[in-house]
């Protein structure tokens, strides 16, 4: 375990020209990230190719044991990692934020290590005996976004390693330090070459998606990024898991209790200050309880402090970068000029340091307003009125993405019926965005394909092989 300063210094000392990373809450420098070139990428891939047979030969038990030790290493450095994550990404230490994310890294490593995966006997009828096994793919590229940089890296790394693959990680250029630090800590317990990071721009990173030595790309990011990767990986027929953008709907049924659901709706929408792929981004509320839900939600939202993540009082932080800040500010401005009613927030304060956008609730907004129809990925929630369930379901299904969704009701059986009509990879009932390492998670429509987590997620990091005879 290293001190925070020693951890940062070791990253700054990595080969490659340094690039200063700034804290989105203050504009102050956090540290220096290397800028890796194609040479470094080639060396990392070659190292991963060389290490892979030995890692695969260890078998599931030894690899799981290594993942458990890696989880211990994360816990030993948890406070240093959380501080770095808070300074670089902006999310507060407190609340479901930086410490929570580092805790999730350890939890996912442990859960992935303990998932059962035995060969399956598919047919055994006296004449034919067919068994299904899962072999390692080889080298996996893990390409991730800036919103949950450590946790999503572990979501990609842990099952890939468990299945006997080696991994080259390419973090987002917005949050390289968090991933470099995480990998450094994981590597306290992993053999050399098994896990490496290439801290590079998108142009250099794109090489991973066409590289002949890469067997699979685990990609989490925008739908546009996913489309580009499908194209660039086509010539080498790579396996892909694509976790892409969403614009999740929540439907509040007429029998829901506004006061009882307000807090969970708030966190479903504003987790990580709204910068969460499977956050609730469009809330459909039945006309009969519309005003009550707006009132309760406003009361909860008003009470949630936003500010510098190192201040333990705060549970909401800044947007991670200026581009995302502008997306949110412009969408809210467009909603205001269309005549929508702002219940809370809605005024960007460009004078303050940092990319803080106030918690914003917008009512009486049309379903085709861009704040509803586009992924705003920030702390602004549009609340849309509906009068029949058919209308709400049609609106929820009206976009070409479908990552998550939720139904809110006092009658779980009724909520399940509505859930079955929604086109998304997950539908939560009376909560939103709750992921679990035992339960498959993935998108429908243009939110991607393939699943992560659970035994299904493990299988996605292997090549199915049938032994027949
Ligand atoms: P992004 O697509 O801009 O970038 C994601 C990562 O991919 C970055 O590391 C980027 O450098 C890299 N990248 C992009 N195009 C590439 C290419 N052609 N070749 C190689 N690498 C490439 O996404 P972002 O802005 O960092 O993240 C926000 C988006 O991610 C949102 O749309 C959000 O919904 C989505 N997301 C989805 C999930 C999920 O599980 N479905 C989870 C988190 C975030």
pLDDT tens track of the chain, all 469 residues?
A: 789 999 999 998 888 888 999 999 999 999 999 999 999 999 999 999 999 999 999 999 999 999 999 999 999 999 999 999 999 999 999 999 999 999 999 999 999 999 999 999 999 999 999 999 999 999 999 999 999 999 999 999 999 999 999 999 999 999 999 999 999 999 999 999 999 999 999 999 999 999 999 999 999 999 999 999 999 999 999 999 999 999 999 999 999 999 999 999 999 999 999 999 999 999 999 999 999 999 999 999 999 999 999 999 999 999 999 999 999 999 999 999 999 999 999 998 777 789 999 999 999 999 999 999 999 999 999 999 999 999 999 999 999 999 999 999 999 999 999 999 999 999 999 999 999 999 999 999 999 999 999 999 999 999 999 999 8
Backbone angles phi, psi at 362, to 5 degrees: -125, 120
The ligand 1 atom at the shortest distance from the C-alpha of residue 155 is 40
Assess whether the C-beta atom of 202 lies below 6 angstroms from ligand 1. Answer: yes
CA-based torsion, 71, 72, 73, 75: positive or negative: positive
Q: Counting beta carbons within 10 angstroms of the beta carbon of residue 455, is it exposed (0 to 12), middle (13 to 18) or buried (19 or more)?
A: middle
The ligand 1 atom at the shortest distance from the C-alpha of residue 148 is 43
Assess whether the C-beta atom of 143 lies below 6 angstroms from ligand 1. Answer: yes
The residue contributing the CA closest to ligand 1 atom 14 is 225
Cα separation, 381 vs 267, in Å, equals 11
Cβ(48)–Cβ(208) under 8 Å?
Answer: no
Looking at residue 334, what is its pLDDT? Answer: 97
Strands 195-197 and 360-363: unpaired
Assess whether the C-beta atom of 147 lies below 6 angstroms from ligand 1. Answer: yes
The ligand 1 atom at the shortest distance from the C-alpha of residue 224 is 2
Assess whether the C-beta atom of 330 lies below 6 angstroms from ligand 1. Answer: no
Going from the Cα of 240 to the center of ligand 1, the distance in angstroms, rounded, reads: 14
> Residue 119 carries which DSSP code?
P
Residue 96 CB neighbours (<10 A)? 18
DSSP-based helix, strand, coil % in the chain, nearest 5:
40, 20, 35
Assess whether the C-beta atom of 286 lies below 6 angstroms from ligand 1. Answer: no
Residue of 208, 221, 238, 280 to mutate, ligand 1, most atoms within 8 A of C-beta? 221
Assess whether the C-beta atom of 221 lies below 6 angstroms from ligand 1. Answer: yes
Residue 56 CB neighbours (<10 A)? 17
Going from the Cα of 148 to the center of ligand 1, the distance in angstroms, rounded, reads: 11
The ligand 1 atom at the shortest distance from the C-alpha of residue 202 is 11
Assess whether the C-beta atom of 151 lies below 6 angstroms from ligand 1. Answer: no
Longest dimension (CA), the chain: 77
Cβ(328)–Cβ(378) under 8 Å?
Answer: yes
Going from the Cα of 255 to the center of ligand 1, the distance in angstroms, rounded, reads: 38
Cβ(172)–Cβ(144) under 8 Å?
Answer: yes
Assess whether the C-beta atom of 173 lies below 6 angstroms from ligand 1. Answer: yes
In this structure, the chain runs to a length of 469
Going from the Cα of 222 to the center of ligand 1, the distance in angstroms, rounded, reads: 4
H/E stretch holding 261: helix 258-270
Q: Using alpha carbons, select from 227, 176, 237, 128 the residue that is nearest to residue 14.
A: 176
Looking at residue 284, what is its pLDDT? Answer: 98
The ligand 1 atom at the shortest distance from the C-alpha of residue 324 is 25
The ligand 1 atom at the shortest distance from the C-alpha of residue 171 is 9
Looking at residue 352, what is its pLDDT? Answer: 76
Assess whether the C-beta atom of 146 lies below 6 angstroms from ligand 1. Answer: yes
Residue 322 CB neighbours (<10 A)? 10
The residue contributing the CA closest to ligand 1 atom 10 is 172
Domains of the chain: 4-244+447-468 (3.40.605.10), 248-436 (3.40.309.10)
Going from the Cα of 275 to the center of ligand 1, the distance in angstroms, rounded, reads: 12
Active site residues: 243, 277
> Residue 306 carries which DSSP code?
B
Assess whether the C-beta atom of 209 lies below 6 angstroms from ligand 1. Answer: yes
Going from the Cα of 225 to the center of ligand 1, the distance in angstroms, rounded, reads: 6
Going from the Cα of 223 to the center of ligand 1, the distance in angstroms, rounded, reads: 8
Residue of 225, 226, 274, 282 to mutate, ligand 1, most atoms within 8 A of C-beta? 225
Going from the Cα of 177 to the center of ligand 1, the distance in angstroms, rounded, reads: 17
Collapsed DSSP state (helix, strand, coil) of residue 468: strand
Collapsed DSSP state (helix, strand, coil) of residue 230: helix
Residue 341 CB neighbours (<10 A)? 14
Assess whether the C-beta atom of 320 lies below 6 angstroms from ligand 1. Answer: no
Cα separation, 358 vs 367, in Å, equals 22
Assess whether the C-beta atom of 442 lies below 6 angstroms from ligand 1. Answer: no
Cα separation, 2 vs 78, in Å, equals 11
Q: What is the pTM of this model?
A: 0.97
Cα separation, 243 vs 219, in Å, equals 6
């Amino acid at each position: 375990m290293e001190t925070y300063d020693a951890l940062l210094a070791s990253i700054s000392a990595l080969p490659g020209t340094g690039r200063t990373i700034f804290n989105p809450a203050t504009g102050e420098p956090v540290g220096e990230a290397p800028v890796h070139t194609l040479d470094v990428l080639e060396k990392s891939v070659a190292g991963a190719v060389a290490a892979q047979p030995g890692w695969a030969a260890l078998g599931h038990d030894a690899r799981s044991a290594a993942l458990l030790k890696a989880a211990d290493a994360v816990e030993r450095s948890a406070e240093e990692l959380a501080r770095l994550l808070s300074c670089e990404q902006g999310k507060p230490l407190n609340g479901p934020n930086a410490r929570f994310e580092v805790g999730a890294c350890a939890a996912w490593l442990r859960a992935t290590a303990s998932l059962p995966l035995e060969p399956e006997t598919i047919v055994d009828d006296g004449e034919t005996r067919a068994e299904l096994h899962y072999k390692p793919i080889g080298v996996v590229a893990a390409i991730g976004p800036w919103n949950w940089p450590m946790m999503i890296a572990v979501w990609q790394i842990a099952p890939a390693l468990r299945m006997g693959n080696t991994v080259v990680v390419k973090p987002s250029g917005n949050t390289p330090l968090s991933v470099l630090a995480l990998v450094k800590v994981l590597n306290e317990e992993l053999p050399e070459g098994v896990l490496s990071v290439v801290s590079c721009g998108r142009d250099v990173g794109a090489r991973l998606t066409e590289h002949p030595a890469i067997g699979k790309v685990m990609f989490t990011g925008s739908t546009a990024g996913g489309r580009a990767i499908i194209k660039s990986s086509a010539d080498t027929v790579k396996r892909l898991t694509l976790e892409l953008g969403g614009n999740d709907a929540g439907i509040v049924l007429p029998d829901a209790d506004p006061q009882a659901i307000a807090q969970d709706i708030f966190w479903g929408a504003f987790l990580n200050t709204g910068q969460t792929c499977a956050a609730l981004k469009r809330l459909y509320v039945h006309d009969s309880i519309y005003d009550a839900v707006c009132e309760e939600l406003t009361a909860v939202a008003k009470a949630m402090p936003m500010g510098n993540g190192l201040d333990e009082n705060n549970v909401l932080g800044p947007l991670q970068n200026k581009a995302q800040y502008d997306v949110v500010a412009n969408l809210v401005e467009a909603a205001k000029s269309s005549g929508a009613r702002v219940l809370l927030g809605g005024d960007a304060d460009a004078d303050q340091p940092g990319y803080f956008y106030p918690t914003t609730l917008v009512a009486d907004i049309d379903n085709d307003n861009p704040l509803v129809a586009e992924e705003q990925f920030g702390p602004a929630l549009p609340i849309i009125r509906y009068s029949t369930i058919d209308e709400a379901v049609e609106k929820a299904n009206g976009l070409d993405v479908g990552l998550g969704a939720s139904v809110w009701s006092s009658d779980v059986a009724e909520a399940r019926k509505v859930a079955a009509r929604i086109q998304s990879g997950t539908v939560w009932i009376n909560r939103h965005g709750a992921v679990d390492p035992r339960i498959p998670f993935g998108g429908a429509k243009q939110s991607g394909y393939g699943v992560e987590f659970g035994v299904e997620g493990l299988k996605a990091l292997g090549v199915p092989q049938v032994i027949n005879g």
